[in-house]
Amino acid sequence: MELIDGKKISEEIKLELKEKVAKLKEQGKEATLAVIQVGQDPASSIYVKNKKKACEYIGVGSVSYELSENTTEEKLLSIIDELNERSDITGILVQLPLPKHIDEDKVIKRIDPKKDVDGFHVENVGALVVGEEGFVSCTPNGVIQLLKRSNVDITGKHAVIIGRSNIVGKPMALLMLRENATVTVCHSKTKNLKEICKEADILIVAMGKPRFVDHEYIKEGAVVIDVGIHRDENNKICGDVNFDDVKEHTSKITPVPGGVGPMTIAMLMYNVVSAIED
Ligand code: NAD
C-alpha cells in the first residue's frame, strides 16, 4: 500500500503556480481574487483565511468582503455586479454556505462565469459536460491531480464514485469520464452499493458519512480516494473511509487529513491563475 500525499502534491502545485505568477507579472498580467463572506461561520472563516494566505504565497492579490449575517440578497448581488465590472478583479468567490435568507443559486449565477474561480456557475458546469474550456470545481479537479501525480493510469479503469453532489460527485464523474474511465455513480438510493464498489479499480468516496466504507467495499489492490472530512466523537479528523480497516487492501489510498483536503485550495489557486493566462 502506498499513501497518496495530498499535502506534498498540493505544495508542488502551489510552487509551480508561484513561478507562473512571477512570469505573468513580467508580462504585465496580475490576478486579484475577491472573497466574499456573509456572516461569521467559524469553519468558513478558517477557509477564507487559508484562501487569502494561499493567494499571498503564490503572489496574487486578494480583497475580502466580510459582510454581516443580515446582509440582504440585494446588497450581495450589487457587490457582485460591481466586482464583475472591475477590471482589476480577476476572480470572485462567495464562501458557501450563505445564510438561509439568501438564494445561493441566484448568487452563483450572478458571478461573471469568466471570474467564477469556484467553477460553480452553470456556464462552467456546462462547459465541463460538453468538453469545452472553463473553470472546474476545485475539489474534484484536485482528485484528478492526485491520481495523475501518483501515476495512477485512469484510462479504461472502472471508477466508482459515491456521491452525486453538484460540487463533488457530479463534476468528479464528468472529469473521470474525460480521463477515459468507465464511470459508475452511486448515491443514497443505490442498491447493492457494496457489490458495485467491489468492482472499482478506482473508488472515490464523497458521501459525507464518517468511516462508512470498510474493507468489504474494496477490491484487492484498488486505488481509494477519500473526499470526506469530519470530526469524530473524539474531535479527531476522519474521512468517509475507515482508513485503518481498508488500507492494506488498497494499492494506493489518500489519508484524511493530508489527502484531498489540501488539494482544494491548490486547485482554487490554479483557477485564479488560469483566469489571467490568456
Ligand atoms: P453532500 O451531502 O452534498 O452529498 C453526499 C452524497 O452522498 C449525496 O449525493 C448522497 O446521495 C450520497 N450518499 C449519502 N449517503 C449515502 C449512502 N448511504 N450510500 C450511498 N450514497 C450516499 O456532500 P458533498 O458536499 O458532496 O461532500 C461529501 C463529503 O466530502 C463531505 O464529507 C464533505 O465534508 C467532504 N468535502 C470535502 C472537501 C475537501 O476539500 N476535501 C470539499 C467538499 C466536500
50 lines ligand 1 (CB under 6 A): no
Q: Is 51 a catalytic residue?
A: yes
SS3 238: strand
What are the domain boundaries of the chain?
A: 28-115, 138-261
pLDDT of residue 266: 98
172 lines ligand 1 (CB under 6 A): no
Kindly give, in sequence order, each residue whose CB lies less than 8 Å from that of residue 225, ignoring residues fewer than 6 positions away.
4, 143, 146, 147, 202, 203, 204, 205, 253, 254, 259, 260
Type of residue numbered 18 = K
In b/e form, how buried is each residue of 89-109, taking b as 16+ CB within 10 angstroms? bbbbbbbbebbeebeeeebbb
Task: Name the closest-CA residue to atom 36, ligand 1.
Answer: 228
Cβ pair 90, 135 in contact under 8 A: no
How far, in Å, from the CA of 2 to the mean position of ligand 1? 24
CATH 3.40.50.880 fits 28-115, yes or no: no
Chain position carrying cell 489571467: 276
How far, in Å, from the CA of 70 to the mean position of ligand 1? 28
Q: Choose among 33, 277, 47: nearest CA to 139.
A: 47
Q: Do domains 28-115 and 138-261 have the same CATH topology?
A: yes
pLDDT of residue 18: 98
> Which CATH class for the 138-261 domain?
alpha beta
Cβ pair 193, 216 in contact under 8 A: no
Q: Is 116 a catalytic residue?
A: no
pLDDT digits (tens, 9 = 90+) for 247-257: 999 999 999 99
How far, in Å, from the CA of 53 to the mean position of ligand 1? 26
pLDDT of residue 23: 97
193 lines ligand 1 (CB under 6 A): yes
Strands 202-205 and 222-226 come out as parallel
Task: Name the closest-CA residue to atom 33, ligand 1.
Answer: 228
**pLDDT under 50: residue ranges of the chain:** none
pTM of the entire structure?
A: 0.98
54 lines ligand 1 (CB under 6 A): no
pLDDT of residue 278: 73
